Amino acid sequence: MNQKLRVIYVSAEVAPYAKSGELADVACSLPKYLSYLGMEVSIFMPKYRNPEIESLPKEMLVSNLLVPLGEKKVKARVFKSEHGKYDIYLIDNPKYFWRENIYGTGKGEYLDNDERFIFFSRAILEFLVKTKLHTDIIHCNSWHTALIPVFLKTHYSHKSQFKKVSTVLTLHNVAYQGEFPPETLVLTGLSWDYFCPEQLSLGGKFNFLKAGVIFSDVLNTVSSSYKREILTEKYGFGLEKILKSRKDVFFSIRNGVDYEIWNPETDSFIAANYSPPDLKGKKKCKRDLIKEFGLSLNVKTPIVGIVSYMTSHKGFDILLEAMDELMEMDLGFVMLGQGDEKYENSFSNFQRRFSRKMAVKFNMNPALAHKIAAGADIFLIPSLYEPCGLNQLYSFRYATVPVVRATGGLEETVTPFNTRTLKGNGFVFKEYSSKAMVKALKKVLVYYKKPQIWQKILMAGFQENFSWENAAKRYARLYHNALKIKRGG
């Protein structure tokens, strides 16, 4: 298969430059592994105002790109930063992107997110037109970029350079759809004829993700289990019938792990490097984690770690219900993340009450995420739904045992430990309740005190291979299929 494709990879967040969730990790690693296959890959993202982006070596390519937005044209600047085998293009407009957060605050999303991401999408296409940058595939991610396929088949349909360009839309989490008032359509410059149930509207709102699902050439999501789930009414969030109607071009490719970044043998973020089965370095990492979070714990006390956006679908409602009981158990608890204000406030209160054994930091600091993966004994992911999940895959590599709810990619990757065969790489609970979660954690603590069995569980996880190398090859096939579909194959 000829891999020499020119791929434009578009994401609202890319680690380590901007991150709110796992999309950023995917957008950081997949393009790199595609480039290893010989593809020419360019990442497009907003130029947020933060130290990570400001410190990038970059050149300004366009100083005055005029982007159509409703009846006006808004100025954008475009910067380029070279990263070896791939480039990052930064779309700059201070009004839209010089903000503290990517999408909003703990109190809610920014009220102009529709305008921000319409501008971002149009700016990319205007830049491609202006520079005549050769393109085979435009790979869009989530609702923030889902209007690009719409614009290509409307405003830019007459442009010869886009005639053979195919679009791929990855659905990372269909609970987030980009729903806005009908008046938002005016900002797109599209006719009101498009605002109908067959195209852009859903439930009386302008739905960005639905629009992308309908107008993209190919769709995929991030695990086969999640693909099955979102074709049901329970998890489809209103898109299930539309996704079923596009089943011939709807695929699944499970996310991978970048073992160049997530590797305890070489990780520069952690206190000591190690490689199972020799876990002396992990003990040093645990001591460092205790110190970092200001806990007063014996190093033998099991530590439960969480790294997550704080919202109900990540299981924070049942976690909150269980906290009093968890704090009575013989364990330490560290949490890293940010999100809904009510959860941030509640866990701050728990930290004040149980400061010796429980601590939380409200950010998405990559160094701390690595410290938790390495220093914790148990990694908890109690999600209501989880399209793929990466933290359980990271924890395998760092000899940290995952405890997860049976949903989406979590169910697909974590094999429940079997007390009879002594096989399995983690612990799973099915019922979405605080009671089921606490029961699973109590079971884990029993085996934590049995070193020989615990070592078997650790090694089962460590021996798993979820490298992006395999997933990137599947994306290569997906891209070639997308081009065949675009050209009538």
The DSSP result for 112-181, as a single string, is THHHHHHHHHHHHHHHHHHHT---SEEEEETGGGTTHHHHHTTTTTT-GGGTT-EEEEEES-TT---EE-
User: Do 447 and 478 belong together in one domain?
Assistant: no
| 3-class state of residue 336 by DSSP | strand
Which residue type, as a one-letter code, is found at position 353?
A: R
In a domain, 52, yes or no: yes
In a domain, 273, yes or no: no
Using alpha carbons only, what angle is made at residue 291 by residues 25 and 17, rounded to the nearest 5 degrees?
Answer: 20
Strand partners, 80: 59, 89
Q: Do residues 165 and 195 touch, judged by C-beta distance below 8 A?
A: no
User: Do 218 and 296 belong together in one domain?
Assistant: no
User: Do 182 and 96 belong together in one domain?
Assistant: yes
**Per-residue pLDDT averaged across 315-325, rounded?**
97
User: Do 125 and 198 belong together in one domain?
Assistant: yes
What's the chain's average pLDDT?
Answer: 96
**Per-residue pLDDT averaged across 311-337, rounded?**
96
CB-facing half-sphere around the CA of 299: CA atoms within 13 A: 12
pLDDT for residue 3 is more than 70: no
Range of the domain at 424: 280-462
Prediction pTM value: 0.94
Which run of H or of E encompasses 96?
Answer: helix 94-97
Q: What's the rounded Cα separation, in Å, for the pair 44 and 72?
A: 23
Using alpha carbons only, what angle is made at residue 308 by residues 476 and 303, rounded to the nearest 5 degrees?
Answer: 120
pLDDT band at 489 (very low <50, low <70, confident <90, very high): low
The predicted pLDDT at position 488 comes to 75
Number of domains in the chain: 2
pLDDT in tens, 86-108: 999 999 999 999 998 999 988 89
In a domain, 237, yes or no: yes
| 3-class state of residue 332 by DSSP | strand
In a domain, 252, yes or no: yes
Per-residue CA distances from 146 to 40, 90, 152, 230 (Å): 22, 18, 11, 18
DSSP 312: G
**Per-residue pLDDT averaged across 334-347, rounded?**
95
pLDDT in tens, 287-299: 999 999 999 999 9
User: Do 289 and 228 belong together in one domain?
Assistant: no
In a domain, 1, yes or no: no
Q: Do residues 303 and 331 touch, judged by C-beta distance below 8 A?
A: yes
CATH of residue 102 = 3.40.50.2000
Peptide bond into 277 cis (omega under 30): yes
User: Do 141 and 22 belong together in one domain?
Assistant: yes
Q: What's the rounded Cα separation, in Å, for the pair 415 and 463?
A: 13
Positive or negative, the CA dihedral 234, 238, 244, 250 is negative
User: Do 437 and 479 belong together in one domain?
Assistant: no
pLDDT band at 181 (very low <50, low <70, confident <90, very high): very high
Which residue type, as a one-letter code, is found at position 256?
A: G
pLDDT in tens, 205-258: 999 999 999 999 999 999 999 999 999 999 999 999 999 999 999 999 999 999
User: Do 350 and 434 belong together in one domain?
Assistant: yes
Total length of the chain: 489
